[in-house]
Amino acid sequence: MNRRNNLIWKVMVGLAALICTVVLLILAAARDRQAETPARETKDTGAEILFETEELVYDGEGMLDLMEGVSARDRDGNDLTDLVEVSLLADDRLTAKRIQYRLFDENGAEVARERKLVLSGYEGPKITAADPLELEASQLSDLIGVLKEQKALSAQDGFSRDITDQVTCKRKKVGTNTYEMRFQVRNQFQDSDEVTVTAHIEGEVKDPVITLYTDEAVLSVGSEWDPYAYLASADNGLGSAVDQVQVEDAVNIGVPGSYRVVYKLDSYDHTAETEAVLRVTVQ
């Protein structure tokens, strides 16, 4: 019995030694292959973007130049300033914005820096509009121009400069010849303002239309639910636009209760919007 145990022990030791030898050979071969493979060089653009000051101050006088005091060069001192891309980033702060500068070298590697834009004396954009507005349907094609000429609409950029021509408007019918008119403007500093007023419009107005098969639905808990099954038609002013209807659907078919499903559609030129409401009861 002892002789047999000794034999088993010797076999196990031999196998262990063989496995260790194989593992060591594999590791050695891997090291050799790694040594033969040249190391990948880390790309270093050698390019840099330079600021004369870490913040740019603008008080509304003259034209704003985001590249003021900015230059760029490569490792050899060659001027790369003309290759710098600059953008003003949206920021919730009113008088302090962020400017981003980016530069790509000939190998596609990127260099990027940011600095602060301080707006001195800046109050943010402001829209004012007469309320209510009395309009003719024929005036809608040049609504902003008409209202500006009538001095019924104005917008300023935050430095008392007129930007009324940049105002956009979207109308929504709320009654016979009665509309909500939402005016919006965004200035060059990525700030915006809006105002909503009532308008009475005489004449034929081409509005988007949504038609539902019904405005109420009663469903059993767990039944099938598809909000688009209740959409009969939609017209954006140029024809059928069922595929453009946006649906706000909060129905939980597994929970009893009352729900609202809102269908929304813009006109083809995005100057008007409409909506339809489906009331759903799950029981």
Listed by start position, the domains of the chain span 48-119, 126-202, 209-282
CATH number (3.40.47.10, 2.60.40.10, 3.50.30.30, 3.30.870.10) of 209-282 reads: 2.60.40.10
Domain spanning 48-119: CATH superfamily: Immunoglobulins (2.60.40.10)
User: Which residues does residue 261 pair with via DSSP β-bridges, in sequence order?
Assistant: 249, 278
Q: Where would I find the H helices in the chain?
A: 2-36, 143-149
Rounded Cα–Cα distance for residues 248 and 23 (Å): 62
Interval 19-66: pLDDT, tens = 656 556 666 555 554 444 333 333 455 799 999 999 999 999 999 999
What is the second-level CATH architecture of the domain 126-202?
Sandwich (2.60)
Q: Is the dihedral of CA 71, 75, 77, 83 positive or negative?
A: negative
User: How many residues comprise the chain?
Assistant: 283
For residue 223, give the 3-state DSSP assignment.
coil
For position 27, what pLDDT does the model report? Answer: 60
The DSSP element (H or E) to which 145 belongs, if any, is: helix 143-149
pTM above 0.85, yes or no: no
Q: How far apart are the first and last CA of the chain?
A: 81
Q: What is the pLDDT of residue 28?
A: 57
Q: What is the pLDDT of residues 209-220, one digit of tens each?
A: 999 999 999 999
Taking CA atoms, 192 is separated from 52, 80, 98, in Å, by 30, 34, 16
Q: Residue 242: what pLDDT?
A: 96
State the Cα–Cα distance between residues 220 and 225, nearest whole angstrom: 10
pLDDT at 34 (0 to 100): 45
Burial of 93 (0-12, 13-18, 19+ CB in 10 A): exposed
Q: Which residue positions in the chain have pLDDT lower than 50?
A: 1-2, 33-43
Give the chain's count of helices (H) and strands (E). Answer: 2, 18
3-state secondary structure of 162: strand
The reply to whether 48-119 and 126-202 are identical in fold is yes
